[in-house]
Structure 1
Amino acid sequence: MKVQGWMFLWLSLFILVVAVVYGAWSKEPVGTTALFLAFGLSLMIGFYLAFTARRVDAMAQDNKQADVADEAGEVGFFSPHSWQPLSLAVGGALAFLSIAIGWWLLFFSFPLLLVGLWGWVFEYYTGENQNQ
């Protein structure tokens, strides 16, 4: 985690230089403010990662002699046959499209979002896993 912390801290320094140069050159307040906010966000993330790296054990990425397989392991369980992400994707796309087209489109997107979210959360609570 030390690597990520230093990457974000160096990125924040770069964004600060870009923000100062952009602000002095363009005299445009919105972009300058956005760059200074990006500097602050990158600084916070870098400080958090650098601070947390001291409290956790060294990971394989902190060892220069480590192999890629040293960090290998189980990532998680992913349902191979679930249709719920498709419902969430269509509902989310319609919800964001309603900003451009009209708010009436939310009435069609919310049921798709709710069905997809409900189905995805409770997908494996059937059969022997179901509570009685």
Structure 2
Amino acid sequence: MKVQGWMFGGFAAFILATAIVYGWWSKEPTGTTALFLAFALCTMIAFYLGFTANRADTGAMDNEDADIADDAGELGFFSPHSWQPLMLGAGGALAFMGVIFGWWLLFFSLPVILLGIFGWVFEYYRGENRTQ
């Protein structure tokens, strides 16, 4: 994680320099603000990764003598048959069409999005997989 923290720190420094030069040269407030906000976001990510790297165990990426196989292992659980991403995608598409065609479409997309999020979060808490 330390390597990623340093990478985001370097990227934040580059964006800061770019924001200063862009703001001085163009005198355009929207792009300058966007660049300064991107600098702030990169700084937050760099701080988080550096802070977490000090508290977590050293990973294989922080060890110079490590092999690629040292970082192998279980990546996590991924749902093999979930329909909820399709519902979220349809709700998101409907919401973005609401931005294009009319804000009234958001009233129809919000229940679809909320139902998709609710279904995805509680997907394994019903039926035979329910914990008691």
TM-score w.r.t. length of structure 2? 0.84
User: Which position in structure 2 is the counterpart of 1:112?
Assistant: 112
User: Which position in structure 2 is the counterpart of 1:102?
Assistant: 102
User: Which position in structure 2 is the counterpart of 1:8?
Assistant: 8
User: Which position in structure 1 is the counterpart of 2:124?
Assistant: 124
Pairwise CA distance, 1:9 = 1.0
Once superposed, what is the RMSD of the aligned Cα atoms? 2.1
- One-letter code aligned to 1:41: L
User: Which position in structure 2 is the counterpart of 1:63?
Assistant: 63
Pairwise CA distance, 1:90 = 0.4
Deviates more, 1:105-114 or 1:95-104: 105-114
Q: Which runs of 5+ in 2 are unaligned?
A: none
Q: Deviations over 1:54-90 (max 9, x none)?
A: 2222111011222222222222222212222111110
- One-letter code aligned to 2:110: F
Q: Which runs of 5+ in 1 are unaligned?
A: none
- One-letter code aligned to 2:16: L
- One-letter code aligned to 1:115: L
- One-letter code aligned to 1:60: A
Pairwise CA distance, 1:118 = 3.4
Instruction: Measure the CA separation in 2 of the matches of 1:122 and 1:48.
Output: 29
- One-letter code aligned to 1:92: G
Give the 3 Å change call, closer, same or farther, for CA 28–121 of structure 1 in structure 2: closer
TM-score w.r.t. length of structure 1? 0.84
Pairwise CA distance, 1:4 = 0.9
- One-letter code aligned to 1:93: A
- One-letter code aligned to 1:128: E
Instruction: Measure the CA separation in 2 of the matches of 1:54 and 1:131.
Output: 35
What SS class does the counterpart of residue 93 from structure 2 fall into? helix
Deviates more, 1:39-48 or 1:112-121: 112-121
Give the 3 Å change call, closer, same or farther, for CA 96–51 of structure 1 in structure 2: same
Percent of aligned positions that are identical: 68
Pairwise CA distance, 1:130 = 4.3
After superposition, residues 25-104 of structure 1 pair within 5 angstroms as 25-104=25-104
